[in-house]
Amino acid sequence: MRRLLPFFLLTTVSGWAQPTSPVIDRTDMPAPSASAPVDTLRLSIASPVLPTAATPLTQRGANQTWNYTSLVPVSQRVEQFVQVSSFAATAPLYSLTFGVFGGVNRATTASPQSLPLALPSGVPLTLTDTYQFYNTSGATAATQDFRSVGFGGSLAGNAVPVTYASQAQQDIIYRFPLSFASQADSSESFFATPTALATVAYLSQERKRVNRVDAWGTLTTPFGTFNTVRVVSKLIDHDSVAFGGTPGFGFDLPVTREYKWLAKGQRVPVLTIITQEVLGSETISGVQYRDSYRRIVQLATRDAVTQAVLTAYPNPSAVGSSLALTVPASREPLMVSATDLVGRELFRRNFGSTLGTLILDAEAFGNFRGLALLTVTTSYGTATCRVVRE
């Protein structure tokens, strides 16, 4: 018995040391803090073309290991979260709508964020100083979650708050506790511009959010190594716009997925990879991760090798015809995107490798006619050329 006891204790302690899925709760969500240093929530934005050494998004399940140390930042920003009461002097409508007397719209924090509404090019509406307002359930709440309760923006110098149609139609970003054992959940949200503003401009969005925890494990980025749980949020959005009393129109946005790795005490995801469905293919459109301050060398974002050989033919090309691009032969993945002269994206395509020539089929451009800017993005940077569709 004395010989078995040390073996029993050793195996028990070893079992205790095994990693497990973290359990994310309300204490891990964003919260304003006057004493926090400004770099606490610094985010690095990386190229949407993942390096070949990066773990593929398809890797899922229990006790995974994800290696994203090869991510290279192309820019940085600092995520800020402020007290709603800080708007009392500058934007009293925000304090009234989202403050202590806001009822179901009461927010626990606000963050400078762009609106989740995609305004078509040419829309005569300019909103500045936009904020998103969030609420984290109290410690004693029967059901606990982290949700968006509204937005705000400055229109012609006036702060305009926008709330959801009802509490039941707010965007629930996470439900707690959240771990690998969590079941998939969904919410349907709806917000629209206030009645007083609708005579000038009407904007609305219907969103269905489906959250699914598909993995947990060890994530390593240039910032560090974390025990994480991964949540995949599928967003299905339908926007509507109308101006000056003219008939409005609605449009469906591409289906978006947010792959978010969450860790205890980090307040924001330590890594977020965003994809969109384009012509039936899931394409990465954004990558960002928690980081410390880094000196970004903008010159390094230009891929001189690709730029030196990049050509498109035929150029001009006819609507309904394919287009060939000459690029360096490589096993590295790359992305090709196109925009018109006002910056509207026409398409975005990913390629796993190339033998030196890429073919863009006619569907990529659709019925577009005119001058377009093609951008080839590799792990080394970007290269561009102009093409004409007739």
| Residue 203 confidence (pLDDT) | 80
Predicted local confidence at residue 28, as pLDDT? 96
- Long-range CB contacts (< 8 A, 24+ apart) of 125-128? 125/155, 125/201, 125/203, 125/243, 126/155, 127/153, 127/154, 127/155, 127/160, 128/153, 128/154
- Nearest 5°: CA angle at 176, between 172 and 179? 115
Strand-pairing partners, residue 296, are none
Residue 126 predicted with pLDDT over 80: no
Q: CB–CB of 137/143 below 8 Å?
A: yes
Binning the chain into helix, strand and coil, the percentages to the nearest 5 are 15, 45, 40
| pLDDT tens digit sequence for 212-231 | 999 999 999 999 999 999 99
pLDDT score of 38 more than 80: no
- Using pLDDT thresholds of 50, 70 and 90, give the confidence band for residue 66: very high
Number of neighbouring beta carbons within 10 Å of residue 331? 8
Region of poorest pLDDT, from 6-10, 123-127, 238-242, 368-372: 6-10
What pLDDT, on a 0 to 100 scale, did the predictor assign at position 199? Answer: 64
* CATH fit for domain 298-389, picks 3.40.190.10, 2.60.40.10, 3.30.70.250, 2.60.40.3080: 2.60.40.3080
- pLDDT at 178 (0 to 100): 97
Q: Where are the domains of the chain?
A: 26-290, 298-389
Q: What percent of the chain has pLDDT over 90?
A: 42
pLDDT digits over 138-171, tens only?
A: 999 999 999 999 998 887 778 889 999 999 999 9
Question: Bigger pLDDT: 42 or 38?
Answer: 42
Residue 25's contacts (CB-CB under 8 Å, 6 or more residues apart) are 144, 176, 177, 178
Question: How many alpha carbons fall within 13 Å on the CB side of residue 75?
Answer: 6
Instruction: Determine the Cα–Cα distance for residues 184 and 191; give it in Å rounded to an integer.
Output: 24
366: enclosing H helix or E strand: none
| Confidence tier at 209 by pLDDT (50, 70, 90) | very high
Nearest to 109 by CA among 192, 36, 212: 36
pLDDT at 134 over 50: yes
The residues that bridge with 210 in the sheet, in sequence order, are 186, 234
Task: Say if residue 5's pLDDT is above 50.
Answer: no
What are 264-293's pLDDT values in tens digits?
999 999 999 998 887 777 888 889 999 998
Instruction: Provide the mean pLDDT of the chain.
Output: 84
